Chains A and B, each alone.
Chain A
Amino acid sequence: MDPGVRLMERVVARDVGAFEALYDGYHRLVFGIGLRMLGDPSMAEDLTQNVFLKIWTTPDAFRGGSFVAWVSRVARNRALDTLRSKAVHPESEIPADLPLEGALDDDVFSRLDAQRVRDALAKLPPEQRGLIEMGFFGGATHQELARRTDTPLGTVKTRIRSGLKRMRESLGERVSR
């Protein structure tokens, strides 16, 4: 079981020690997502602070599954909120938030490690990899990706779909539904 899940059970019971362990175990992931998406260490630090305070004040928001997957989505959505509030893009160019909970079986998520995902990404053609990384971490819509890369919209869609499918195949059974 994802160790974060056990720690969250104790956080719900207001165990400060468990919360500290949770922070020690996952703050690098949250900070990293913030840094990749916001591009600024100070903003990533604030985002990390916000995400973990949110976990402490409303631990019931976590409803099971993989803690890693859940906290990653929380961090990404917070970063999207920050991008939106900065008005870097018009509202219509900010992508929709990802559903936060329950929609997926997340148990397998915690079995993945960064190197395996990096390897799967590295196997993609550069034009697919670039779009997928820019899309996930850049807070841009597919239209914005098309503009930034000077690529026809239809091509962007096809490359993203093909790339995600290839990633899924590369990750194999470790990413099951």
Chain B
Amino acid sequence: MNANADREEMMESVALYALGVLPREDAALVAAFIANDADALREYLDLRAAADSLAHTAEEPVDSVRSARMKERLMARVRADAAAGSVARRRTGPAYPAWMWGTGLAAAAAIVFSVVTVAQDIGVRGDLASAQRRAAALQTQLAQNDRNARQDRHTLTDLLARDAKRYDVAAGTVIVRRDHIYFAFSKLPALPKGRVYQAWVAPKGSKQVAPSVTFTPNADGVAVVALPVDATRVGAVAVSVEPEGGSKAPTTTPTFVRPLT
């Protein structure tokens, strides 16, 4: 396949991403491509606007009984929360734990149902305990999935945000948004076994670099990396090739050094 065909295929994936039908493992790859390609970003924004408009077609009249019931339930919760002093609660965190929402809420309901069903069908205390342990493990896994999904959402949002600062580097882009720094590489060369890429950060006003995360690209040379640093304190970033496990100081000539100015 030639380069034009490859590019067309990626642009088709941009449309899939805009519609929201890519699996998560592919979404990061496409987001990295979009972040590195001005034409792809333009097309993504166009198609995403068209895809978003589809939501308008979903608006449904809700029958009056259901509508009244829904509103009554909701407003009872809201009024109770307001009366209890929600402002103070918001300062100390969400009133409802994150896991209760979406996946967590549905999963919790499913877990309760499964536990009750097991108890009725088997009626054996030991089996119930076993089911509860499995339910707890499942709940933990679902909560982790939820956290991962939220993190993915934030990363993808930052990568494609209009207000993000972008710095071209070898094989990709450094993206800074608010206090976050990301590397989005789309063409990183593969490394020999036992070698990894390592990120480095230099604080503002310093020429000394500190070690950051290590990473390896996928088979297509794609890597999206979030640096665990406060971007507002970083003056420059760099990447070098290091032994697996990383180094305390660069041992090879950096692939790039990029001031964030």
Contact = CB atoms under 8 A, between A and B. Distances in A.
Contacts of A142: 16, 21-22
B52 A104 contact: yes
A157 B13 CA distance: 7
A140 to B, nearest CB: 7
| B interface, size bucket | 35 or more
A124 to B, nearest CB: 11
B20 to A, nearest CB: 5
B73 to A, nearest CB: 6
Contacts of A36: 58
A86 to B, nearest CB: 7
Contacts of A53: 74, 77-78, 96
A7 to B, nearest CB: 14
Given A96-B27, A103-B161, A160-B19, A114 B56 contact: yes
A102 B161 contact: yes
B95 to A, nearest CB: 5
Contact of B55 (A33, A118, A165): A33
Given A57-B90, A94-B23, A14 B82 contact: yes
Nearest to A92: B23
B157 A101 contact: yes
B24 A96 contact: yes
Nearest to A170: B50
B122 to A, nearest CB: 22
B105 A50 contact: yes
Main secondary structure of the interface of B (DSSP, over half): helix
Contact of A99 (B47, B61, B73, B156): B156
Given A28-B59, A54-B101, A103 B157 contact: yes
A161 interface: yes
Contacts of A101: 157
Q: Which of B9, B14, B50 has the most CB of A within 10 A?
A: B50
A76 B55 contact: yes
A1 interface: no
A10 interface: no
A58 B94 contact: yes
B73 A49 contact: yes
12 contacts: A27-B70, A50-B101, A56-B86, A57-B96, A73-B55, A77-B102, A95-B22, A97-B149, A102-B161, A132-B19, A137-B58, A164-B19
Interface of A: 14, 16, 19-20, 23-24, 27-29, 31-33, 35-36, 41, 45-46, 48-50, 52-54, 56-58, 68-69, 72-73, 75-78, 81-82, 84-86, 92-106, 108-109, 112-114, 116-118, 120-121, 132-133, 135-137, 140-143, 145, 157-158, 160-161, 164-165, 167-168, 171, 175-177
